[in-house]
Amino acid sequence: MNELMGIECDLQVINVEHATHEEVESFDLVGEPKPALQGMRVYWSNLKVGWNNELEEKFIQAFRVKYPDIINSAANETVVCDMYFDRLTRLKKVLILYGRREGEQEEVHGERIVQQLNAKLYQQRPNSRRATTYQDHLEICKANSKLDDGQADEAWLSIQGVVTVLRAGGMSSDESDTDGDGNEVFHVNRLEWRSSEIGGILDIIDADYRKLNAYGNRRARNPRRQRTREGGGLSGRGPIQGYPLNYYNMVWYNGLSNRERRALQVKASVPLPALTYDVPTAAP
C-alpha cells in the first residue's frame, strides 16, 4: 500500500493528496470519477464510503494477480480485506496525530511534529531497554544451563523459567545517568508490585554477569549496560497481568480492590527456585 500511495514511511501520508468530499459524493451518485489504485487517494474523513470500497476491490484484484497462492479461498480474501482496512485505520491515526491542523502555520506544524516524535522516542526508550535486559537475562541463563560434565544445571534452568514467565514486561525499567568518571550508568527503578523474591532471582543473573574468569577478565559476552539499584526510584509503571500469584508483592496485592484483583487475572502460585549465590572474584 505504501508503494501505491507513493510513500516510504507512515509519516509521509500527511503529504499525500487525498480524495475530496465532492469526488466521493459524485462517485456515489453517478459512478464518476473513479478512484485509481496507482497514486492511491483515500477519503480519510470516513473510511467506509463507496470510494474507499472501490479502492479495496481494486487492491484485492491486484493482490490476487501478484500473489495467487495467497488468495486461494474466500477466507484468505477476507483476511486481506481486513488487512486493507487495518492499514487505512493506522494511517488515519498518523494523519490525525501529525497532520496539519486548520489555521496552523507551516513552521508551527513542523515544530509540533518534531516535539511529538521526540516524545514518542522518549516513551519507547524504556521499552527498548527492558527488551534488551530480558534478552541479556535469557542469554546468561542459557550460557549457564549446563554443568561442566554436560548435564543440565537445574538451578539455572529454573531461573530461566522465571525469566521466561516474566518476559520483557517484568523487567525493571531504568534511567540513564553518568557516574563520577563520566561513564553512563542506568539506575534501576523498583517495581512496587513485583515480589522481592523475583527481584532476588534476577539479582543472581546480574551477579553472574559481573563474575570474572580465571584470568581476572570479564567473561566473553556482548557488552551490557551498567545497571545499579543504588539511586533508583520507584517505577510508575503499572503491573503486568497474568503472572502467578507469588510473582507479585503480597503487601501490594492485598491492598487492591476486588475489581483490581479480577483485572489482574492472577494465576495460581508456582514453586520458585530457592537459591543462594556467592559471587567469586574469579572462576575456580
Residue 273, phi then psi, degrees to nearest 5: -65, 130
3-7 long-range Cβ contacts below 8 angstroms, 24+ apart = 4/37, 4/38, 4/39, 4/40, 4/59, 5/39, 5/40, 5/42, 6/39
| 33 and 85 within one domain | yes
Cell of 210: 559481573
191-238 pLDDT, tens digit each: 899 999 999 999 888 887 766 444 444 444 444 445 555 544 567 788
pLDDT at position 240, please?
92
| 75 and 11 within one domain | yes
117 lies in some domain: no
67 lies in which domain range? 2-98
195 lies in some domain: yes
pLDDT grade for 133, boundaries at 50, 70 and 90:
confident
pLDDT at position 233, please?
54
40-72 pLDDT, tens digit each: 999 999 999 999 999 999 999 998 888 887 777
220 or 11: whose pLDDT is higher? 11
pLDDT grade for 126, boundaries at 50, 70 and 90:
low
- Share the mean pLDDT of the chain: 82
Residue 6 has pLDDT above 50, yes or no: yes
Residue 177 has pLDDT above 80, yes or no: no
Q: Which of 1-5, 61-65, 186-190 shows the lowest mean pLDDT across its residues? A: 186-190
84-119 pLDDT, tens digit each: 888 999 999 999 989 999 899 999 999 999 888 877
Residue 176 has pLDDT above 80, yes or no: no
**How many CB atoms are closer than 10 A to CB 185?**
17
19 lies in some domain: yes
Q: Beta 227-228 vs 184-188: how paired, if at all?
A: parallel
Residue 179 has pLDDT above 80, yes or no: no
254 lies in some domain: yes
Rg, Å, the chain Cα set: 27
| 238 and 162 within one domain | yes
103 lies in some domain: no
pLDDT grade for 81, boundaries at 50, 70 and 90:
confident
Task: State the Cα–Cα distance between residues 113 and 118, nearest whole angstrom.
Answer: 9
pLDDT at position 54, please?
95
| 194 and 76 within one domain | no
Cell of 219: 567473561
Cell of 214: 580465571
Sign (positive/negative) of CA torsion 137, 143, 148, 151?
positive
| 136 and 75 within one domain | no
- Whole-number percent of the chain with pLDDT over 90: 41
281 lies in some domain: no
pLDDT at position 88, please?
92
**How many CB atoms are closer than 10 A to CB 92?**
16
Sign (positive/negative) of CA torsion 66, 72, 76, 81?
positive
| 94 and 135 within one domain | no
**How many CB atoms are closer than 10 A to CB 100?**
16
